Structure 1
Amino acid sequence: MTLFAQDTLMHKEAREAGAVVAHQYAANLPIIEKLITELRASPPHAIVTCARGSSDHAATYAKYMFETQVGLLTSSAAPSVRSVYGSTLKLNNTLFVAISQSGASPDLVATAQAAKDAGALVVAFVNVSDSPLAALADYFIPLHAGPENSVAATKTYIATLAAILQFTAHWSRSAPLLSAVDNLSTDLLQAADLDWSAATKILSNARNFFVIGRGTSFGIAQEAALKFKETSGLHAEAYSAAEVKHGPMAIVGQDFPILVFRQEDQTAESIDSVVEDFIGRGARVMVAGKDFDGAVNLPYIVDRHPAVAPILLVQSFYIMVNALSVMRGYNPDKPPHLNKVTETV
């Protein structure tokens, strides 16, 4: 039976993201306001995130949001420190942010419990409301994405980014961010309709390539690289536009494929510089976020807040990578050797 890109669960679920975010924002505002009231009354000294897979890529986005908008140092906790090594961290006056689609992975649950026992305030962004992680958190922020049956996460990842954005916007009291929150669900619907087929043509026969981002788009680059591996059997590596110059640039040459996510903020100059360098080396550069001579320019929604732009770019990306997966003979809903819930210990 022939599989068409528009018939996959991944395609269907990715397109649900706009509606998911609209519902999420209305439903979650009371709990976010309550959480922020506590945070303002007892400000944490630092933030620790804990997640794996796509959720950890969302945690990368959260790090940039928390540090740039709230001014709190944000670090990633390795779950194995607790679940394997048995160590306990001193987390008094710390906000511990656990992110998970299922909320069921034993190592993540154990780490969150240890953080709570050590004095941290535990906030969990989780899609499954009756999960162990949601139950133990001091504040549970549901993603409201509904069932996600494709193994490849799409709407849950976007819902996580959206929840982090809403939380940060209200905590920082940033008027531009709050305005971006109001428009995100509508913008996602528009982003899902953008045509990135030029990228599928370049990548249909690719084997190895880079995905580049920086700042708020770096977590999106990480997520894209994972999805290429997961759904399309492609070896893609994610790099910061700064880090790629420290060695990886050596293998970039004629026709080497590169996908770049760009937002219009303080990182733009460094991203532009590396794009021009890639083009000068004869690489096949695909860029979303600005048009360049000599590059394959992918459509994007212009004039959006730089914290929102990466969320819209990953929405467009999901539609494209689903089509690429089918083009390459894969079923993105059932990647080989993978399950929807990965329970690590």
Structure 2
Amino acid sequence: MSEDIAEQPAGFARLLETGPSTAIAEVAAEVARRAPRSVLFVGRGTSDHAALYAAYLAEIRLGLPVASASPSAITLYGARPDLTGTLVIGVSQSGGSPDLTGVLKVARETGALTLAVTNNPDSPLARAAELSIDVVAGHERAVAATKTYTAELLALLMLIEGVRAGDGHLPAEERAALEKLPQLAADVLADGSAAELAQRYRFAASLVATGRGYAYPTAREAALKLMETSYLPALAFSGADLLHGPLAMTDHDIPVLAVVGDGPGGRSMRDVVARLGERRVDVVTIGGSDVDGASARLAVPSVDERYAPLLDILPVQQLALALSLARGEDPDAPRGLKKVTTTL
């Protein structure tokens, strides 16, 4: 897991290279040409969190209605919804789960433009889709996904921005900003504060993760990483949902990871952290600046809110790794889990 985490700056650079970048641009140009009227995402686990990030991008940047598919409606109940004019995107590291492949097959038969985003271009999911994007993350050693997640995020970002541009190619200013990501990611990973924080929460019984907007997928992925590597019960809420009921359960015994960046989502989260601080909750923020009411911060660079999820998750991955080791667990082989999970 440590090696996988360390490879992410190189993974960003690889996706931004001419070959992979051009391949994504070609797919984006074709999507723009077909002009879908809505977008439907399908994914499981970590890849579903990447899809959620892309859903925010598609709604905000493309102005399209977006939904998340329920695979069981098709694979268990035999539904065949009319998906004419819909872009259906399946996101999967392995591309090997039968239910995701089943959704894309039916979607293609019922009028959708289908796209697979995967780390295995020869997978059943990629073969079932009309279009496919290889996130070129390379072999991932650990069961817990790290470098494939951030590769999915960047590939989906490049796709959505390419569709927005119309010809598939990123505007020069956007391209220049993204080319800074490899070095920014390396700088984040060089900071050792996540390991120190692991000792602080070694005996925690539960944890809450929260964020809004583009940061909400990071909160969900943070909770999953902590659960699957440290067996720490962790709940994820949007900052807004946290205030609608779950706030009542928070106290000084339940630490909170709050993703608080720049932009509208981050500004809203500052109010959430203040509310938690009133309840004397131990809040650790993830972001570029200190936040009133927080007791600690995992520092990341201040970047455009759209790019922040690619960096915000990095110290959380390091925290999950360090916390698992501190609790005497093996983060490379979580009990009961395999690298490829097949669901029907």
Q: Same-fold call, TM > 0.5?
A: yes
Query: What displacement does 1:124 show?
Result: 0.8
Q: Within 5 A, what are the aligned runs for 1:250-289?
A: 250-289=248-287
The residue type equivalent to 1:17 in the other structure is Q
Between the aligned partners of 1:341 and 1:42, the Cα distance in structure 2 is: 33
The residue number in structure 1 matching 2:116 is 124
Q: Within 5 A, what are the aligned runs for 1:153-302?
A: 153-173=145-165, 177-194=174-191, 195-289=193-287, 290-302=289-301
The residue number in structure 2 matching 1:326 is 325
Between the aligned partners of 1:201 and 1:294, the Cα distance in structure 2 is: 21
Structure 1 residues 213-267: Cα deviation after superposition (integer angstroms, max 9, x where no partner): 1111111111110111100010000000000011100011234200011221112
Q: Is the Cα contact below 8 Å between 1:125 and 1:140 reproduced in 2? A: yes
Query: What displacement does 1:59 show?
Result: 0.8
Among 82, 88, 109, the alignment partner of 1:96 is 88
Query: What displacement does 1:300 show?
Result: 2.5
Between the aligned partners of 1:133 and 1:57, the Cα distance in structure 2 is: 18
Q: Is the Cα contact below 8 Å between 2:227 and 2:234 reproduced in 1? A: yes
The residue number in structure 2 matching 1:15 is 6
The residue type equivalent to 1:263 in the other structure is G
Secondary structure of the equivalent of 2:299?
Answer: coil
The residue number in structure 2 matching 1:138 is 130
How many residue pairs are counted as aligned between the two chains? 336
The residue type equivalent to 1:272 in the other structure is R
Between the aligned partners of 1:282 and 1:301, the Cα distance in structure 2 is: 24
Q: Does 1:312 align with 2:311?
A: yes
Among 106, 110, 115, the alignment partner of 2:98 is 106
Between the aligned partners of 1:269 and 1:303, the Cα distance in structure 2 is: 13
Secondary structure of the equivalent of 1:158?
Answer: helix
The residue number in structure 1 matching 2:168 is none
Q: Is the Cα contact below 8 Å between 1:100 and 1:125 reproduced in 2? A: yes
Between the aligned partners of 1:296 and 1:202, the Cα distance in structure 2 is: 12
In the superposition, relative to structure 1, how do residues 324 and 268 fare at CA in structure 2: closer, same or farther (>3 Å)?
same
TM-score normalised over the length of structure 2: 0.94
Between the aligned partners of 2:243 and 2:117, the Cα distance in structure 1 is: 34
Percent of aligned pairs with the same amino acid = 35
Among 35, 54, 67, the alignment partner of 2:27 is 35
TM-score normalised over the length of structure 1: 0.94
Q: Does 1:85 align with 2:61?
A: no
The residue type equivalent to 1:187 in the other structure is L
Gaps of 5+ in 1: 1-9
Q: Is the Cα contact below 8 Å between 1:263 and 1:310 reproduced in 2? A: no
Gaps of 5+ in 2: 166-170
Structure 1 stretch 174-183 or stretch 207-216: which is displaced more? 174-183
Q: Is the Cα contact below 8 Å between 2:46 and 2:149 reproduced in 1? A: yes
The residue type equivalent to 2:8 in the other structure is A
Structure 1 stretch 172-181 or stretch 66-75: which is displaced more? 172-181
In the superposition, relative to structure 1, how do residues 18 and 129 fare at CA in structure 2: closer, same or farther (>3 Å)?
same
Q: Is the Cα contact below 8 Å between 1:48 and 1:76 reproduced in 2? A: yes
Q: Is the Cα contact below 8 Å between 1:193 and 1:316 reproduced in 2? A: no
